[in-house]
Amino acid sequence: MSYFKLPSGLRDILPQESARLDQTEEILRKKFKDAGFSSVRTAGIEYYDTFACIKSSVPQTKMFKMTDKDGNLIVLKPDMTLACARIAATKLRENSAKLCYFSNVYDFSAVGNSDREVIQAGVEIFGEDGAESDADAVAFAIDCLKASGLKNFIVDIGHVGFYKGLLEGSGLSEEAAEEIRGYINAKDAVNTEIALRAYGANEKAQAAILALPSLFGGVQILKEAESLTDNKMALSALAHLQNVYACLKKKGVEQYVSFDLGTVKSLSYYSGMVFTGLAEGVGAAVLSGGRYNDLCAQFGRDLSAVGFAIGLMRVLRALEAEVKSGC
Distances (CA, A) of 315 to 21, 79, 118, 147, 149: 9, 19, 12, 11, 9
Could you give the 3-state DSSP secondary structure of residue 82? helix
Is residue 305 a contact partner of residue 116, using CB atoms and an 8 Å limit?
no
Q: Which of 256, 227, 255, 220 is nearest to 241 (CA)?
A: 220
Please state whether 149 falls in left (phi above 0), alpha (psi between -120 and 50) or beta. left
Contact criterion met (CB below 8 Å) for 275 and 285: no
Distances (CA, A) of 92 to 88, 103, 303, 307: 5, 20, 11, 17
- What are the two backbone dihedrals, phi and then psi, of residue 38, each rounded to the nearest 5 degrees? -105, 135
CA gap 184, 196 in Å, rounded? 11
Model pLDDT, residue 89:
95
State the pLDDT at residue 60. Answer: 79
Q: Could you tell me where the beta strands, DSSP code E, fall in the chain?
A: 38-39, 45-47, 65-67, 73-76, 97-106, 117-126, 153-159, 216-217, 257-260, 273-279, 287-291, 305-311
pLDDT in tens, the chain (327 residues): 566 888 888 889 999 999 999 999 999 999 999 999 999 999 999 999 888 777 766 777 788 999 999 999 999 999 999 999 999 999 999 999 999 999 999 988 776 667 889 999 999 999 999 999 999 999 999 999 999 999 999 999 999 999 889 888 788 888 888 888 888 888 888 999 999 999 988 888 888 889 988 899 999 999 999 998 999 999 999 999 999 999 999 999 999 999 999 887 766 789 999 999 999 888 789 999 999 999 999 999 999 999 999 999 999 999 999 988 876
Task: Using DSSP, state whether 284 is helix, strand or coil.
Answer: coil
User: Are residues 263 and 162 in contact, defined by beta-carbon separation less than 8 angstroms?
Assistant: no
- Residue 187: what pLDDT? 81
Q: So what's the pLDDT on residue 2?
A: 61
Selection from 207, 281, 267 nearest residue 237 by Cα = 267
Q: How many CA atoms lie within 13 A of 217 on its CB side?
A: 10
The CB-based long-range contact list for 286-289 (8 Å cut-off, 24+ gap) reads 286/145, 286/150, 286/153, 286/310, 286/311, 286/314, 286/315, 286/318, 287/141, 287/144, 287/145, 287/155, 287/311, 289/122, 289/137, 289/141
Cα–Cα distance for residue pair 57/153, rounded to 1 Å? 25
- Judge residue 129's burial from the number of C-beta atoms within 10 Å of its C-beta, 0-12 exposed, 13-18 middle, 19 or more buried: middle
Instruction: From residue 269, give the alpha-carbon distance in Å to each of 149, 171, 224.
Output: 31, 22, 27
So what's the pLDDT on residue 267?
61
